[in-house]
Structure 1
Amino acid sequence: MMSSPFAMPPTTVSSAVVKEEDWAPTLSAVGSVSAVQGAVVAAELGGVVAEIHFQNGGEAKKGDVLVKLATPSEDADLELARNDLERTRDLARRRVISKAELDAAESKFKQKEGLVGKKEVRAPFDGQLGIRQVNIGQSIDARQPIVQLTALDPLYVDFALPQQDLAKLSNDLEVRLLSDAIPGREFKGKLTAINSMIDSVTRNVSLQATFENSDHALRPGMFAKVEVVLPEKHKTLVIPGSAVSYAPFGDSVYVIEKKKDEKTGKEGQAIRQQFVRIGEARGDFISITEGLKAGETIVSTGVFKLRNGMSVTINNELAPKPQLNPKPVDS
């Protein structure tokens, strides 16, 4: 004779209620993070590095002097041009020379001044600097790389979707991003560019999304998982992902049901293993496409220790609270 499920002390479990929620459908892809602005900073002219005004990995503002090249001959030429200009102006005031000669002296001075200015290498835009590739005293050629400068906020994410999804896409759709480099954190951006052509080999359309990145968590070159959120929504049954017991022969959950002990007549609770078909996951939640009904109560954690028909008691005091957009705990 089979013993009652209440013969053994009940196992304490945490529970969750199957909820029906509005989930917008998504289109998934993989992408790569890229900079909105990025450049290898170089000097326009060659020379000897006299001063370096930045730290590796530091921040730079547009116009900041990064490197100064030694300019002994240029400084001497500039001083001669300045003295010549002062003499020419004095002669012009006394009307000894023509205005054309004064203009020529002023032009020569500005030319020499500009040449000295080109020996100062400045940041072309705000951004974060990489690792310098020159040292003080080093002789460098024109256009020789000095340091990488990258604007990190905002950033682009480049990805592609099949051509059959093109009709569903439009600018300003929400785009979600996850990266293994930043586990547990979801970034939200907007679709900002749809390529005008379809790739004739892959039949994919290239897309670009823009993401705010004020804390510089994302970096150009990162691999990312991308989801484009479509505007229409549909009803979806949702449960915590921790409630699912995954197995080769089928995924299942444990439904908590009221059950009366046949011997004592006391009311209690027992679990019934229910096989389900799972859908997409979002944060700590997962959608269920088959096997459950809204309002049913299920075991939410510790399903690996359970067996069909076991008696249980519910205690949700220490149960973790699943989140749709989980964030890592600050260290």
Structure 2
Amino acid sequence: MLKRMLIMLVLTGLVLGGVFGFQAFKSAMISKVMASLANPPQTVSTTVAASQDWQPQLEAVGSLRAVNGASLSPQVAGLVSAVHFESGADVNKGDLLLELASADDIAKLEALKATAALAKIVYDRDSKLVNSKTISQQVVDTDRGNLLNAEALVAQQQALVDYKSITAPFSGRLGIRQVDLGQYLAAGTPIVTLQQLDPIYVDFYMPQQALAQIKVGQPVTAKVDTFPGRTFPGQISAINSQIDVATRTVQLRATLQNDDDALLPGMFATVDVTTAAPEKYVTLPQTAIAFNSYGNIVYLVDDNGKDANGQPQLSARQIFVTTGATRGDQVAVVSGVKDGDVVVTAGQLKLRNGAPVHIDNTVQPANNPNPTPSDK
């Protein structure tokens, strides 16, 4: 009986040992398989965070216009008898540009001058005779009235003759000639445009909230896509006295230096208004920031030493950041990142907190504060 019990206990122990041994073996194999299925290091590109001095600015778009600009035209009708300018020429104030036929008007002017001269002779003679009571004071008064009337007619005719000569009202550059020699012009027919190019105005709009940061004399810089990479300095010269009720914006005007006449009226311009002293910010490529409704995220790369094979062990660490202004391809980071931090700039979509990473900086995302788009 005892022998049977011992045999039964031995068999029971063998069965239980087999069961527990199999479970231990299964757990070990599962652990080994799961370890082999762990995420491999993800390839990312990185940059080292560094501080830059950023000039606080307000940006707007505007349109250039001449300080003085006019479309010249005659005040009276007439036939073009002489053209004294070339298209695109620079002229000075008072330069004669065009003449209309005026022979008849000049002849009439000479006749009126003769009449006025005769009226003066009569008036001077009668003024002497009135003292000797030879003629009455009424005659002298009539003579004086005739003289004043004759002189007024001379002045009127002289103005008409002057209207037949078109001169430059200010110094500037002419446009394309619109009339030809021998052409009959009605009053008001455009002859040519005249623009004063240096200095030149740029008109632009700012939201009403920006008024607290803007004042007359504030420096500005303008850029036009005609001259990539070039800036034109100037300063605010006027602020409109009312807000546009439709857009709640205010119109501003800045005066720009244009020594080489590179800027022309009508050009589209981007205007940067300097509002304060430069400030130091940590800047990153905009691709480094994951913008979310619950916060903006970047991934930092931590160095966890080396593994058994001497290879560096790098991992990603997710942090929330506060961003500021953007400029070109860059964004200012107000808090969350400091100088020297290694920040992931590409490949972060496949990362999670603590994920192993492998750095490959063969290709880097754009990081230019003043990018110039290619036409190709």
TM bucket normalised to smaller: 0.5 to 0.7
Residue among 238, 244, 247 paired with 1:202: 247
For residues 137 and 295 of structure 1, what CA distance do their matches in structure 2 show?
77
For residues 262 and 252 of structure 2, what CA distance do their matches in structure 1 show?
22
Question: What amino acid maps onto 1:21 in structure 2?
Answer: D
**TM-superposed deviation, 1:140:** 0.6
For residues 149 and 202 of structure 2, what CA distance do their matches in structure 1 show?
52
Report what 1:19 is aligned to. 51
Residue among 112, 115, 140 paired with 2:185: 140
Pair member with larger Rg: 2
**TM-superposed deviation, 1:233:** 4.4
**TM-superposed deviation, 1:197:** 1.8
Q: Could you say what the CA RMSD is over the residues aligned between the two structures, in angstroms?
A: 4.9
Q: Partner of 2:212: helix, strand, or coil?
A: helix
Q: Partner of 1:192: helix, strand, or coil?
A: strand
Residue among 44, 69, 73 paired with 2:100: 69
Report what 1:10 is aligned to. none
For residues 125 and 325 of structure 1, what CA distance do their matches in structure 2 show?
38
**TM-superposed deviation, 1:181:** 2.7
Residue among 84, 91, 108 paired with 1:53: 84
**TM-superposed deviation, 1:136:** 0.7
Report what 2:70 is aligned to. 39
Question: What amino acid maps onto 2:102 in structure 1?
Answer: T
For residues 360 and 206 of structure 2, what CA distance do their matches in structure 1 show?
47
Between Structure 1 and Structure 2, the one with more helix by share is: 2
Q: Partner of 1:159: helix, strand, or coil?
A: strand
Report the more deviating stretch, 138-147 or 28-37: 28-37
**CA 1:262/1:30 → structure 2, altered by over 3 Å: closer, same or farther?**
same
For residues 297 and 174 of structure 2, what CA distance do their matches in structure 1 show?
51
CA contact (8 A) 1:255 1:298 kept: yes
**TM-superposed deviation, 1:114:** 2.9
1:191 equivalent to 2:236? Answer: yes
Query: Identity of aligned pairs, percent?
Result: 38
For residues 227 and 150 of structure 2, what CA distance do their matches in structure 1 show?
60
For residues 196 and 166 of structure 1, what CA distance do their matches in structure 2 show?
11
1:158 equivalent to 2:228? Answer: no
Q: TM-score, normalised by structure 1?
A: 0.68
For residues 227 and 298 of structure 2, what CA distance do their matches in structure 1 show?
30
Cα displacement string for residues 239-279 of structure 1 (whole angstroms, at most 9, x for unaligned residues): 7x7x9789999x99999999999899899xx9x99999875
Question: What amino acid maps onto 2:63 in structure 1?
Answer: S
Question: What amino acid maps onto 1:168 in structure 2?
Answer: Q
**CA 1:290/1:218 → structure 2, altered by over 3 Å: closer, same or farther?**
farther
Question: What amino acid maps onto 2:163 in structure 1?
Answer: K
1:245-284 to 2 correspondences below 5 Å: 280=325
**Structure 1 stretches of 5 or more lacking a match?**
6-14, 314-321
1:178 equivalent to 2:256? Answer: no
**TM-superposed deviation, 1:174:** 1.9
Cα displacement string for residues 184-224 of structure 1 (whole angstroms, at most 9, x for unaligned residues): 22222212222222222212222222212222222222222
For residues 283 and 248 of structure 1, what CA distance do their matches in structure 2 show?
17
Report what 1:214 is aligned to. 259
Question: What amino acid maps onto 1:23 in structure 2?
Answer: Q
CA contact (8 A) 2:172 2:196 kept: yes
Q: Partner of 2:173: helix, strand, or coil?
A: strand
CA contact (8 A) 1:132 1:147 kept: yes
Cα displacement string for residues 114-136 of structure 1 (whole angstroms, at most 9, x for unaligned residues): 32222100111112211122111
**TM-superposed deviation, 1:65:** 0.9
**CA 1:311/1:295 → structure 2, altered by over 3 Å: closer, same or farther?**
closer
For residues 299 and 101 of structure 2, what CA distance do their matches in structure 1 show?
76
Cα displacement string for residues 117-161 of structure 1 (whole angstroms, at most 9, x for unaligned residues): 221001111122111221110111112211111111222222222
**CA 1:246/1:47 → structure 2, altered by over 3 Å: closer, same or farther?**
farther
Question: What amino acid maps onto 2:338 in structure 1?
Answer: K
Question: What amino acid maps onto 2:84 in structure 1?
Answer: H
Report what 2:176 is aligned to. 131
CA contact (8 A) 1:175 1:229 kept: yes
**CA 1:150/1:16 → structure 2, altered by over 3 Å: closer, same or farther?**
farther
**CA 1:282/1:62 → structure 2, altered by over 3 Å: closer, same or farther?**
farther
**Structure 2 stretches of 5 or more lacking a match?**
1-35, 42-46, 129-143, 348-356, 362-367
**CA 1:285/1:129 → structure 2, altered by over 3 Å: closer, same or farther?**
farther
Question: What amino acid maps onto 1:172 in structure 2?
Answer: G
